[in-house]
Structure 1
Amino acid sequence: MERSIVGFRRDEEGHWVAELECGHGQHMRHDPPWQSRPWTQSEQGRAGMIGMRVNCLKCDRNEPPAEGARKPA
């Protein structure tokens, strides 16, 4: 299910996680050559992705948001 990115946070290992409008999080790793997301490396790059829609597999599986997650709008 397509959901918009509403913010970013770092996980316990320092990887960037996109906070989605549904309350779920989705990792946005930059780990070349497997995953190339250089925009995650700057605040300006991440800000430019706010509003971008990504597929949320957790919504597809009807999973509830994690405890303490951003509340859906």
Structure 2
Amino acid sequence: MNRAIADYHKDDENHWVARLNCGHFQHVRHNPPWTNRPWVETLTGRKSMIGHELNCKKCDEGAPLDYQVL
């Protein structure tokens, strides 16, 4: 299910994590050639992707929320 990126934070290993508007977190790594997300490496790039939709597998699975949506 597609959900929009609402914000970002870093995890304990210093990797970027998107906060989706559904209440789930999803890692957004730039790890070529498997995952090509160079935009995640800069503040400007991350800001440009606010509102962009990612496939939320946690929603598909009915997983509990990672954070409270206000």
Q: How does 1:2-41 map to 2 (within 5 A)?
A: 2-41=2-41
Percent same amino acid at aligned positions? Answer: 49
Which runs of no fewer than 5 residues in structure 1 stay unpaired? none
- Whole-Å separation in 2 of the counterparts to 1:63 and 1:35: 24
Residue 9 (structure 1) shift: 0.5
- Whole-Å separation in 2 of the counterparts to 1:53 and 1:39: 14
Per the normalisation by structure 2, the TM-score is 0.91
